[in-house]
A and B are shown apart, each in its own frame.
Chain A
Amino acid sequence: MKQKKQETQSVTLSEYTNIQLTALVLLRMLIGWHLLYEGISKVINPYWTSAGYLSESKWIFSGLFTSIVANPTALKIVDFLNEWGLIAIGIGLIAGLFTRTATIAGIVLLCLYYVANPPFLGYQYSMPTEGSYLIVNKTLIEAAALFVLAFFPTGRMIGLDVFLFRKSGKIESD
């Protein structure tokens, strides 16, 4: 690995072993796949809206979220950002394109989902969940997984960022 580090021309500098890199890229692509399909399935469903989810919201942002539902324009914007945000993040994670931005955006979005409907003691929701949760749910875990990826980046090793950052690397070295 040290030997690799000395290669100045290459941006695929890595301290990961192959299996580590494989595991991290696999995780990145799986989350990307999930978010991309979540986004696409919302876009192709003409009846989809975040209104139900937001109107049920509890905890600290409940006031903000319900006021979004009450305002048709705000709801439209939120729905649009949500649908296309998911798609953009999904593509970013799979392709390794602007991976860092996509990872952070993904964390923010997933955290918003989490704080809107957190599975806290005493909170009840009319929409059934597909599992059993106490404080921790799959949304939180997915956000935490992205948190890991934010600090173990792989986009510049496997992904379109290889090209983007090689270019800039060249300019810097020039």
Chain B
Amino acid sequence: MSQENKANSEDKAKKGGIKRRDLLKGLAALPVFGVFIYKFVEKRSLEKEKKQAILEELKELSIPEKFPEASTVTVKPTTAKPTELIRFGIIGNGGRGESILRSAGIAHPDWIEERKKAAAENKMDTGLQDWLNQEDLNIVLTGVCDVFDVRAERGLAAAKNEIRPGEASGSLPGAKRYRHYQDLLASPDIDAVIIATPDHWHSQMVIDAAKAGKHVYCEKCMTRTEDEAHQLYDAVKNSSIKFQLGHQNRQQESHIKAKQLIEKEILGKITLVEVTTNRNSPNGAWYYDIHEKGSPETIDWEQFQGPAPHKVPFSLERFFRWRCWFDYGTGLSGDLLSHEYDAINQILDLGIPKSAVSSGGIYFFTKNWIGNKEYKVTEVRDVPDVFNVVFEYPDRELTLVYSATLASNQDRGKVFMGHDASMQVGGDLEVYADWESTRFKEKIEKGVIDTSLPLFTYQRGSKGFDAVTSASEKYFASRGLMYTYREGRRVDITYLHVKDWLDAIRNGGEPLCNVEQGFQEAITCHMATQSYMLGRKVEWDPVARKIV
């Protein structure tokens, strides 16, 4: 403003100085811009210098500045559009079965309507559009087997639904309903099967499918018992079928990046890995809705019970909430620990632990829960709702800890505790250097590495937004079980996992979570369950290949 004053005084002194005075007034901002640009450039170069310094140091640590896209790491090259049509059947078209079908591009018309409605209400809900944008996997559903009429009918309706990803493929042949899975496996119209039944049926069905030469996508837990794991393993090994276990998180980009970081030895020696399950709803504790049409007339109860160790009279609760009983399921161990374990096994390649110690109990959904009117509970569960396991890997000099509750949502991540840095992995990933790290000591002292800031982060599609709505969807998304990103686009992770299986069927090669990984997962989970049941530590005998 000094120019202004100056200009004023000059004005008074000199009548002819108007032009000069105006010039000064007009260009008064010039020095301001000068300072702005000077300071801006200075700030930029300072930031650049600091970034350069960090990058130089990181190069020394062989941390790549940019990680390759996951797609180039995992997804095998395929022809643009798969030419070979694969006809497949589904055994067990319940909640999970339907959702695998949908991920593969076969959805019930009701779901399409629901998504349309959701998109109309919330413009950020792009679920339907994302689904329609998926690549056409060139598959048809030709067989449906479910012991509950309603679910079988839903499968048949989905098979005929012409709203599918990719170009309109004309009229679909539709599917045939099979009353017994053996008939479905015997059908010449079926090349591959998805098995999404309760766990107690898995091994028998996979073994029979292998005998019939049908490729299998089987849900976890791979088997209900240790013996079954051996039988299934042998049957698949002695066949030529492609077997994929339903650990869709193998496709998670953050897990792939975590593996790369560990291979670069960024974390230093890892001695402890902690994984968790944190849920807090009856639905999350497997008290699913009892379908109004469920009755002895609509449910083939005898076939449902099948290989279950205890035969009981018809029970709607046991049918719809089978995960609450060890007769059909594997509890927290096979249902949720299995995902966490598989993620760690994928990242660290741990294999079967030397020992397992478990504890826990039924602490929330106790017998006080009986008589709950909203959930119509009449029988207490026998699988625990709080469950903790400690696995030892003395050869790898590390411990894997699992801790779970079905009665609190406090989010606890997957944490890798390394001497030089720790890493937290979910759908995202963060690495923090340890302030007492040996490897980073100098860099921390020099101020190149700030331990209060992440050394490395990976965030899902930084320009995309998730419209994850329900509580359980949020849970799965936070555990990296719903979506991942390929080249910045959100992709359904189960879709990728089914595609990986189909690619193996068409082009050869092994699916990502084949029977080897499946066997390791099943045994690890069974060790945890057995320890809980026996109330003692159990060990894996690698020679006799037996839990002792």
Q: Please give the residue numbers on chain A whose beta carbons come within 8 Å of chain B beta carbons, in ascending order.
A: 9-10, 12, 18, 21-22, 25-26, 29, 33, 36-37, 40, 44, 47, 49, 51-52, 55, 63, 66-67, 69-71, 94-96, 157-163, 166
Kindly identify which residue among A21, A44, A63, A96 contacts B1, using a CB–CB cutoff of 8 Å: A21
Are A55 and B124 in contact, with the CB atoms below 8 A? yes
Kindly identify which residue among B5, B33, B462, B465 contacts A18, using a CB–CB cutoff of 8 Å: B5
Q: Tell me, rounded to whole Å, the shortest Cβ–Cβ distance linking A155 to chain B.
A: 10
Residues of A contacting B123 with CB < 8 Å?
63, 66-67, 69-71
Kindly identify which residue among A21, A29, A49, A55 contacts B32, using a CB–CB cutoff of 8 Å: A29
Kindly identify which residue among A12, A26, A37, A70 contacts B40, using a CB–CB cutoff of 8 Å: A37
Per-position binary interface string of chain B over residues 1-20, scored 1 when its CB falls under 8 Å from any chain A CB and 0 otherwise:
10011001000000000100
Kindly identify which residue among B29, B44, B122 contacts A96, using a CB–CB cutoff of 8 Å: B29
Are A162 and B26 in contact, with the CB atoms below 8 A? yes
**Total number of A-B contacts with CB less than 8 angstroms?**
76
17 more A-B residue pairs beyond the given contacts A33-B32, A166-B22, with a C-beta to C-beta distance below 8 A: A12-B22, A12-B25, A18-B1, A18-B8, A21-B1, A25-B4, A25-B28, A36-B36, A47-B462, A69-B465, A95-B33, A96-B26, A158-B4, A158-B29, A159-B28, A160-B29, A162-B25
Q: Assess whether B517 is interfacial by the CB under 8 Å rule.
A: no
Given contacts A36-B36, A67-B123, contact A159 B4 (CB under 8 A): no
How far apart sit A69 and B125, CA to CA, in the bound complex (Å)?
A: 11
* Cβ-closest chain B residue relative to A10: B18
Q: Tell me, rounded to whole Å, the shortest Cβ–Cβ distance linking B38 to chain A.
A: 13
Residues of A contacting B1 with CB < 8 Å?
18, 21-22, 25-26, 158
Q: Please give the residue numbers on chain B whose beta carbons come within 8 Å of chain A beta carbons, in ascending order.
A: 1, 4-5, 8, 18, 21-22, 25-29, 32-33, 36, 40, 44, 122-124, 126, 462-463, 465
Are B26 and A159 in contact, with the CB atoms below 8 A? yes
Residues of B contacting A21 with CB < 8 Å?
1, 4
Q: In terms of DSSP, what is the predominant structure of the interface of chain B?
A: helix
12 CB-based A-B contacts, threshold 8 Å: A22-B1, A25-B4, A25-B28, A26-B1, A33-B32, A40-B40, A47-B463, A55-B465, A69-B123, A94-B32, A95-B33, A160-B29
Q: Tell me, rounded to whole Å, the shortest Cβ–Cβ distance linking B51 to chain A.
A: 13
Kindly identify which residue among B18, B25, B124, B126 contacts A157, using a CB–CB cutoff of 8 Å: B25
Are A70 and B28 in contact, with the CB atoms below 8 A? no
How far apart sit A159 and B27, CA to CA, in the bound complex (Å)?
A: 6
* Chain A CB within 10 Å, residue with most, of B5, B26, B32, B124: B26
How far apart sit A22 and B4, CA to CA, in the bound complex (Å)?
A: 9
Are A70 and B126 in contact, with the CB atoms below 8 A? yes
How far apart sit A29 and B465, CA to CA, in the bound complex (Å)?
A: 37
Kindly identify which residue among A9, A29, A94 contacts B18, using a CB–CB cutoff of 8 Å: A9
Q: Tell me, rounded to whole Å, the shortest Cβ–Cβ distance linking A8 to chain B.
A: 12
Residues of A contacting B124 with CB < 8 Å?
55, 66, 69-70
* Cβ-closest chain B residue relative to A90: B36
How far apart sit A40 and B22, CA to CA, in the bound complex (Å)?
A: 30
Are B463 and A94 in contact, with the CB atoms below 8 A? no
* Cβ-closest chain B residue relative to A36: B36
Q: Tell me, rounded to whole Å, the shortest Cβ–Cβ distance linking B490 to chain A.
A: 13
Q: Tell me, rounded to whole Å, the shortest Cβ–Cβ distance linking A161 to chain B.
A: 8
Residues of B contacting A9 with CB < 8 Å?
18
How far apart sit A29 and B44, CA to CA, in the bound complex (Å)?
A: 22
Are B29 and A29 in contact, with the CB atoms below 8 A? yes
Q: Tell me, rounded to whole Å, the shortest Cβ–Cβ distance linking B128 to chain A.
A: 12
How far apart sit A47 and B460, CA to CA, in the bound complex (Å)?
A: 12
* Cβ-closest chain A residue relative to B26: A162
Q: Tell me, rounded to whole Å, the shortest Cβ–Cβ distance linking A27 to chain B.
A: 12
Residues of B contacting A160 with CB < 8 Å?
26-27, 29
How far apart sit A135 and B27, CA to CA, in the bound complex (Å)?
A: 39
Residues of A contacting B25 with CB < 8 Å?
12, 157-159, 162
